[in-house]
A and B are shown apart, each in its own frame.
Chain A
Amino acid sequence: MTSVIDSGARERILNAAYALFLSQGFKPTTTRQIAEAAEVNESTIFRVFTSKSKLFQEVLSHYVSERLTLDLSSAPTESDARRALAGLVEQMVRLLMETVPAFRLLVKGSLMDAEILREVDKRFRALQHQLWQHLMGLRGRGILGERDYGPSVELVFGSIELQAFEFTVQEAWQGDASGAIEAYAARLADFMFERWGLESEGDR
């Protein structure tokens, strides 16, 4: 028997376990189910991850580092600043919507690892920071006015979090919410431009 585990198997186990934990919860999910879904021997799971709870912690930290980051380089370039901002808001809503089901796993205190929580928290702050930097960029280009955007971004980000949750519920029961998400992002971008934009300063 070989002790070498191909890296593909590890990845397959993590992905299969993530999907099963998410849909069934921690307790009802068995390592046998995970092994079957990942097409590996059940003993491989224990050899690589030691135990089901260790696997669970691995799954969460893997998820946090892989998924909970907004990759702005893949965003389509948008010459219209207002639409670009709406696009950024929309991306954030989508990303946070992905985290809502994972949050339901995190809420279970007995399964939580403080380090993972700190990491999730850090990623959330990083997202908020990306929005702030985007606004600072617009200010630098003379599109938005001179003001301190930090506290406003905190308020805006709270609204994005809350709406992401509402949209997740909406999608769970009524299907695709793309239209509503797009409309929300446009409305938020409109608000920021009309309230903070230099062009509208004169007619206030």
Chain B
Amino acid sequence: MTQSSRDQIVAEAGRMFSQRGFRETSVAEIAAAAGKSEASAFRIFGTKADLFAAAVAAYSDVTLDLSDLAMNVHLTDVRADLKAIVHEMFRLHIENIHLIRLSVAGRMQFPELRDAGAFVLEPLREWFRAYLDELVSRGQIRVRDLDLAVDLVCGAVFGDVLQATVVHQFESYTPELAAAVDDLWRARVESFCVDIIEVVAEPTGMDTAPRGLTLGTV
């Protein structure tokens, strides 16, 4: 079955607004990319802002699949769990990078999207909070400020994703990127387990300067 004109235009709008921004993209360009006329795009959506809202709404219909998170977590080895969780968070962010970009741009511009940015982050944050909460109730970890601990991991992933997609221009979670994430998070996972929450553990080596993703391409 062929896609309706509406769906085709919405799909192009999501991609183009994400890559080029709202103001830098014209309805005529979007319509042309979808093989439609500018007039028909305006007939269907009314205004450019309505088209933007439709593009974001289309992404919001996507349900975030958290089943891989649940599958890779065993609640026995906190460090191994954390490594799997970070990879999964990364993958989900990068898979939904268009939505993240649209909502970053849109939340500042459109009142109705103010809370839309929570789409990718919020379910992950809630899931991770529930995971740590479970470890606390099992007596495996102690946490002084649970919300802050959740924020530190989610924030660091968010910062890395910005760096990987904006500075290094990754559009997908490639093995190269996964390896860099692995390398970057080895010390962080250890630090999280020892310095942020408390799992019984040996201290790590001293004085590692903070750094960013190490990748060959910029």
Contacts and interface: CB of A to CB of B under 8 A. Distances in A.
Interface in A133-190: 136, 146-163, 165, 168-169, 172-173, 187-188
Contacts of A121: 163, 167, 212, 218
B152 A161 contact: no
Given A27-B23, A107-B105, A155-B155, A150 B210 contact: yes
Nearest to B103: A169
Given A120-B167, A121-B163, A152-B191, A163 B101 contact: no
B108 A168 contact: yes
Interface string B136-151: 0000000011001001
A150 B207 contact: yes
A125 interface: yes
B191 A118 contact: no
Interface string A90-122: 000000000011011111111100100110110
Contact of A169 (B107, B159, B210): B107
Contact of B195 (A27, A136, A196): A196
B180 to A, nearest CB: 14
Contact of A109 (B169, B191, B212): B169
Interface in B179-218: 184, 187-188, 190-192, 194-196, 203-212, 218
Contacts of A165: 104
Contact of B144 (A100, A106, A146, A195): A195
B156 A172 contact: no
A132 B111 contact: no
A interface majority secondary structure: helix
A104 B106 CA distance: 10
Given A118-B167, A121-B167, A157-B210, A169 B218 contact: no
A124 B158 CA distance: 14
Interface residues of B, number: 52
A159 B148 contact: yes
A161 B21 CA distance: 21
Given A150-B187, A154-B188, A25 B158 contact: no
A73 interface: no
A162 to B, nearest CB: 4
A49 interface: no
17 contacts: A25-B24, A27-B24, A101-B108, A108-B24, A132-B210, A147-B203, A148-B187, A151-B187, A151-B191, A151-B195, A151-B210, A152-B191, A154-B210, A158-B152, A162-B154, A169-B108, A188-B148
